[in-house]
Amino acid sequence: MIHEPVLLKEIIALLNLKEGDNAIDATLDGGGHAKAMFESIKPSGKILGIDQDSEMVKKMNSIKNLVAVTGNFRDIGEIASRNNFKNPKAILFDLGLSRWHLEKSGRGFSFQKPDEPILMQFDAGSQKNAAIILNAYPETELAEIFKKFGEVRAPHQIAEKIVFARKRKRIYSVGDLLAILGIKNKKSLAKIFQALRIAVNDELAALEEAIQGGFRILVPGGKLAVISYHSLEDRVVKNFFKSEVAKGNAENILKKPLAPALEEISKNPSARSAKLRVLQKI
């Protein structure tokens, strides 16, 4: 199962793409948003799809008029240039974690998969993973990760437990970490796993670079749409949008972030925390 395309109807209406336009789906995943955007721009418009995971890209390569590329969206300008992809009228970032990564990747993204190795990297070829962080980072740095990226309670106590436990046995699996933490509360575990995932993939810095780079390559009148799922990434988006509006470079299309309707949340509970912001380049 893949990440459901959240706020699909609303995004298509707000982007208002026309036949012949070009657009970028910077978080391709299962291609749900990309396919819907193509319906607006076909037959001559093109979609550039970017995903860090080569497994996702392989599944999308057969779709007509979709240029599917493996890469980090922080390099969006370079990727567009390298693929001779010009004049995007819309760029979409859906920052939600794919269900495939949680349920099928085998990389330890979910605390409900105790037997999986605790890796958490989107790019399977990356040398950095959660096991390296847990086994090698100093206690102070671990605490900072849990505090900054997970906003967890008692981050120093969690870090202390990990450092104490790893002296006796290396941490290899999700189950190893769960045994050390001894935490049953799912919300607390979700925050800890979120913090590790963000640290492994440098998500917040990558997001900041990505939306800056995306905005630069948009044509005047083009729209940048971002769906965020937690306050840390939403803050990055909000601050960037506010800055560009203040400079007179853009205007907000929405007065406040758009959230999914109750009907969508009932069908797709993972959409409940989604927030959509849309910025139009002047």
The amino acid at 183: I
Q: What is the pLDDT of residue 59?
A: 77
For the segment 44-102, what is each residue's pLDDT rounded down to a tens digit? 999 999 999 888 788 776 677 899 999 999 999 999 999 999 999 999 999 988 888 88
Domains defined along the chain, listed by start: 8-100+203-281 (3.40.50.150), 105-201 (1.10.150.170)
Greater model confidence, 185 or 100: 185
Annotated binding site for S-adenosyl-L-methionine: 31-33, 51, 73, 94, 101
Q: What is the pLDDT of residue 62?
A: 67
- Please check the confidence at residue 9 and state whether its pLDDT lies above 80: yes
Q: What is the pLDDT of residue 3?
A: 56
Annotated binding site: 31-33, 51, 73, 94, 101
pTM exceeds cut of 0.75: yes
Q: 29: pLDDT confidence band, cut at 50, 70 and 90?
A: confident
- Please check the confidence at residue 1 and state whether its pLDDT lies above 50: no
Cα separation, 34 vs 222, whole angstroms: 16
